[in-house]
Amino acid sequence: MTNTSSNGVVAYEVVDRIAWVKFNRPDKRNAMSPTLNRDMMEVLDELEFRDDVGVLVLAGEGPAWTAGMDLKEYFRETEAHGLGSTRKAQRESYGWWRRLRWYQKPTIAMVNGWCFGGGYGPLFACDLAFAAEEAKFGLSEINWGILPGGGATKVAVELMPFRKAMYHAMMGENIDGRTAAEWGLVNEALPLTELEARVTAVAKELLKKNPVALKATKDAIRRVSTMSYDDAEDYLVRAQEAANSFDNEGRKEGIRQFIDEKSYKPGLGAYDTSKQKKQKA
């Protein structure tokens, strides 16, 4: 059953432990208005710690993933109300992207169509990203006279090689899903007709893994990127020790099934989490 957020601009549905969350303003190409930003935080809150949710997919209704920030409602109308209003709108949008970057459950961006500007915030916030070959990505800010703000410049530099990032930001030309995959914005591009099946398959694989280890792993990948090697080494020891005390059974079960039961090989797949004592995600 599809649910909608308070103002109807986010739709969501949980099917077989996969939460399908959609930007739901197709007539406005899913542009992120302050209302949408508030509703998205509400939906992320609702889903994050539910036992029946193991993976979250962020998709878009209609022909867009998201056309970025809403030029009318996010920029023009908030600016008309002064600096306080602008800062509030920024807090609300950056807030849910930050929430998504550190989300408890693994997250996948399923980029079905247009992805512009501010949309790079949630794109980067998702752990993995898959795009339709037909999708179009653009840092269009330069085309209407601003720099790629709201983290979009940072996302470009984090995900793309320097020359690609510079060209992308300065030229305001769109790239399709396939080029986005080549340049590192997404993991893979597939024909739109195959996109949902691929994302579902990836989500199902993630559902088989130890959820405590997944959260520790996704946080570690984000954290170590700005650390020295020694700092990262130390962080990873402590992060694993923290995960051990939170989930002592999972890793022991993983060792047991490999060493004693010989029922799987960690180099070739994940252990059977259904055989271990129930743990909270």
Q: Are 68 and 116 in contact (CB under 8 A)?
A: yes
- In whole angstroms, the minimum distance from the beta carbon of 38 to ligand COA comes to 17
Note whether 29 binds ligand COA by CB under 6 A: yes
Residue 243 to residue 263: CA distance in whole angstroms? 24
- Residue 269 tokens read as 């797949």
Residue 159 to residue 185: CA distance in whole angstroms? 6
- In whole angstroms, the minimum distance from the beta carbon of 177 to ligand COA comes to 15
Per DSSP, the three-state class of 146 is coil
- In whole angstroms, the minimum distance from the beta carbon of 71 to ligand COA comes to 4
- In whole angstroms, the minimum distance from the beta carbon of 51 to ligand COA comes to 36
Q: Which of 208, 199, 210, 187 is nearest to 20 (CA)?
A: 199
Q: Which of 41, 38, 1 is nearest to 19 (CA)?
A: 1
Of 114 and 271, nearer to ligand COA (C-beta) is 114
Note whether 70 binds ligand COA by CB under 6 A: yes
Please give the size of the binding site for ligand COA, defined by CB under 6 A.
Answer: 16
- Please select the residue that binds ligand COA; options are 31, 109, 125, 165, rule is CB under 6 A: 31
Q: Which residues of 234-268 are buried (b: 16+ CB within 10 A; e: fewer)?
A: eeeeebeeebeeebeebbebbeebeeeeeeeeeee
Choices 60-68, 162-170, 182-190, 211-219 (CB under 6 A): range interacting with ligand COA: 60-68
- Binders of ligand COA among residues 116 to 175 (CB under 6 A) are 116-118, 140-141
Note whether 254 binds ligand COA by CB under 6 A: no
- Report the DSSP pairing between strands 107-111 and 55-60: parallel
User: Residues 6 or more apart from 26 whose CB is under 8 A from it?
Assistant: 60, 61, 62, 63, 64
Of 118 and 250, nearer to ligand COA (C-beta) is 118
- In whole angstroms, the minimum distance from the beta carbon of 9 to ligand COA comes to 13
Site string for ligand COA, 199-238 (x = CB under 6 A): ----------------------------------------
Note whether 28 binds ligand COA by CB under 6 A: yes
Phi/psi at 59 (5° precision): -130, 180
Of 77 and 196, nearer to ligand COA (C-beta) is 77
Residue 5: count of CB within 10 angstroms of its CB = 20
Q: Are 130 and 110 in contact (CB under 8 A)?
A: yes
Of 22 and 28, nearer to ligand COA (C-beta) is 28
Residue 165 to residue 78: CA distance in whole angstroms? 29
Choices 39-47, 110-118, 226-234, 243-251 (CB under 6 A): range interacting with ligand COA: 110-118
- Please select the residue that binds ligand COA; options are 16, 49, 72, 242, rule is CB under 6 A: 72
Residue, CB closest to ligand COA? 117
For ligand COA, the binding residues (CB under 6 A) are: 28-29, 31, 63, 67-72, 114, 116-118, 140-141
